[in-house]
Amino acid sequence: MPDRSRLPERPDEASLGLGTAASFEVQPTFERFSQRDDIFCRSFWDPEIRSESTDRFYATYRDVLANWRTVDGFTQRDYALRNASWHVTDVFAERREEEDRREGYLDELTALRDAPAEQAEFESPAAAATEIKRVAKLFGADLVGITDYDERWLYSHKYSRVRESPKPNEQPGGLSHVIVVAKAMDHGLIATVPSALSGTATGWGYSEDTLTLLALSQYIRNLGYQAVPNLNDTALAIPLAIKAGLGEYGKLGLVITPEFGPRVRFGKIFTDLPMTLDAPRSFGVREFCDQCNLCVRECPVGAIPAGDPSDVTYNRSNIVGVKKWTVDAEKCFGFWERQNSDCSICIRVCPYNKGWPGWLFTAWRRLAGSPLRRVALWLDRALGGGRRRTASSWWKGN
Ligand code: SF4
Ligand code: SF4
C-alpha cells in the first residue's frame, strides 16, 4: 500500500499546468492535508482556537436567534435571513448526525437512490462532458469543469466531530474523474460586508450547490455510473477547481474565476464516467495581484500577506509543500468570531468581483490581463469598485 498521506508529486503537474504564471506549485515536500487541521475543525478540538467567543459564533448559526444587535447589518432580520440561507445545507448535514456524519461539511452527501446495473453509452468522452455540463447548468451550476481524480487533493483523513479525532477518508474504487461546479454568490449581498446579512450570500451559495450536486449525481447514477457528491468535505476544492479550468489562484487565497472573480462557492462530484478533461487556464491574475494588493490592505486583521507565493506556513491549518499565496486562517477566523459572522471583505474589494454588465466586465478583464493592468486597477477604483454598501440600503432595495 502506498503511503496515502504523502503521494509522490506528478512532475507534469507540479504547477497544475499553469506554466510560468503558476501561483499554486506542488513542492517535493508536499503532504496531504488532514481535515482535522482545517480551522473550522480546530475550532472544536484545539484549545488554541476554541474559546467562549467560538461557541457564541456558532450559536448565532444554530440556536434560536439570540445574539443579534441593533447595529446595521447585525439585526435580527439580518441574522434571520443569513441562517435561513444555510437551512438546506444544514438539513442534509444533520440527517445522519447520529452515525457520526455531517454531510456536506465533513462527509460526502448520500441522499441518493441506487443505480441500475446497465451503463448508458456515450458516443465519446467529449460527448459525455458536453452532456454533463449541460445538465449541471440545468440543475443550477453557473460554472462547470472536469478534471481527473487526483488523490493528492483528498483529505488524508476526514474529521469525526463525535470523537474529535481523524477518521478514514475511504472512497469506492474505480473513480477516475471529478466534476467541479461553481455557484456565483449574490453581488449585492457581498457588497454589504462586513455584516451578518452578507453571510446570506455564502449560505445560499452552499445550499444551491447542495441541490445541484445531488440532482446531477442522481442523473449520473441513473446512467449506471458512480457519483460521489461532496461540498466542503472529503477534498480540497481549490486545486481541483484550478485543474478543472474554472479559474486562477489569487492572492486572497481563493480561486478567481473569469466570470465572477472570487465570488463563487464550489462543489465536486467524483465519478467513473469517462469524460474529456478541461485544462487549467491563466488570464493574468498572477501579474495583476502583484500590482494590486487591495485584499492585503483591506483585511482588518492582516491575514493576507503581501509578497510572492512561497511555501511558508503560518500554522497547522496551512497545507505543507505547496508554493502559493497563503492566508493566516487563525487571524481570519478570529475576526469572524469577534464579529459573530463570516467575513468576505477580501472578496468584496477584489477588482475581479464586479457587478458590471458582461461586455463591460469582459473589456475590463482584458485590460487587467494586459500590460495596462495598472490602468485597469485605477479604473476599478475610480468607478467605485469594492465600495461598501449598508445592509439597510440592501433591505430597501437601493
Ligand atoms: S475573510 Fe476577512 S478576515 Fe479573512 S482574509 Fe478575507 S478580509 Fe481577512
Ligand atoms: S484584491 Fe487584488 S491582490 Fe487581492 S486577490 Fe484580488 S486582484 Fe489579487
CB-based contacts of 360: which residues, under 8 Å, 6+ apart? none
Report the pLDDT value the prediction gives residue 68, as an integer from 0 to 100: 83
Band of pLDDT at residue 6, cut at 50, 70 and 90: very low
Mutate to test the pocket of ligand 2, among 286, 289, 387 (most ligand atoms within 8 A of CB): 289
Number of domains observed in the structure of the chain: 1
Find out whether the beta carbon of 196 lies less than 6 Å from any atom of ligand 1: no
Residue 307, pLDDT above cutoff 60: yes
Within-domain flag for 5: no
Cα of 48 to ligand 2 centre, how many Å? 30
CB atoms within 10 A of CB 342: 20
69 or 285, higher pLDDT: 285
Q: Which of these, 75, 83, 67, 57, lies nearest to 391 by C-alpha position?
A: 75
Find out whether the beta carbon of 273 lies less than 6 Å from any atom of ligand 2: no
Find out whether the beta carbon of 347 lies less than 6 Å from any atom of ligand 1: no
Ligand 2 nearest atom to the CA of residue 290, by list position: 3
Report the pLDDT value the prediction gives residue 16, as an integer from 0 to 100: 63
146 or 384, higher pLDDT: 146
Given a contact cutoff of 8 angstroms between Cβ atoms, the answer to whether 283 and 327 are in contact is: no
Q: How far is CA 242 from each of CA 213, 236, 245, 298, rounded to the nearest angstrom?
A: 19, 11, 5, 25
Among the bound ligands, name the one nearest to the CA of residue 333.
Answer: 1
* Nearest protein CA to atom 8 of ligand 2, as residue: 289
Report the pLDDT value the prediction gives residue 39, as an integer from 0 to 100: 97
Q: Grid coordinates in use for 319?
A: 497545507
Residue 375, pLDDT above cutoff 50: yes
Within-domain flag for 1: no
Q: What is the pLDDT of residues 46-83, one digit of tens each?
A: 999 999 899 999 999 987 777 788 899 999 999 999 99
Within-domain flag for 86: yes
Find out whether the beta carbon of 293 lies less than 6 Å from any atom of ligand 2: yes
3-state secondary structure of 249: strand
Within-domain flag for 4: no
DSSP string of 324-352, one letter each residue:
E----HHHHHHHHHHHTS---HHHHH-TT
Find out whether the beta carbon of 294 lies less than 6 Å from any atom of ligand 2: yes
Mutate to test the pocket of ligand 2, among 238, 288, 332, 361 (most ligand atoms within 8 A of CB): 288
Mutate to test the pocket of ligand 1, among 294, 301, 315, 340 (most ligand atoms within 8 A of CB): 301
Residue 17, pLDDT above cutoff 70: no
Torsion of CA 349, 382, 354, 373, to 10 degrees: -90
Q: What is the pLDDT of residues 256-267, one digit of tens each?
A: 999 999 999 999
Within-domain flag for 2: no
* Nearest protein CA to atom 8 of ligand 1, as residue: 299
Within-domain flag for 332: yes
CB-based contacts of 366: which residues, under 8 Å, 6+ apart? none
Output the pTM of the full model: 0.94
Q: Which of these, 234, 241, 221, lies nearest to 145 by C-alpha position?
A: 241
Instruction: Locate all alpha helices (DSSP H) within the chain, ordered by sequence.
Output: 39-45, 52-62, 76-85, 87-94, 125-138, 187-190, 199-222, 237-243, 285-292, 294-298, 329-339, 345-349, 358-368, 373-382, 391-395
Find out whether the beta carbon of 305 lies less than 6 Å from any atom of ligand 2: no
Find out whether the beta carbon of 199 lies less than 6 Å from any atom of ligand 2: no
Q: What is the pLDDT of residues 168-221, one digit of tens each?
A: 999 999 999 999 999 999 999 999 999 999 999 999 999 999 999 999 999 999
Find out whether the beta carbon of 253 lies less than 6 Å from any atom of ligand 2: no
Sign of the torsion angle spanned by Cα atoms 49, 50, 56, 57? positive
Q: How far is CA 225 from each of CA 110, 115, 273, 363, rounded to the nearest angstrom?
A: 15, 7, 6, 41
Q: Domain residues for 274? A: 11-395
Find out whether the beta carbon of 286 lies less than 6 Å from any atom of ligand 2: no
Residue 235, pLDDT above cutoff 50: yes
Report the pLDDT value the prediction gives residue 9, as an integer from 0 to 100: 43
Find out whether the beta carbon of 16 lies less than 6 Å from any atom of ligand 1: no
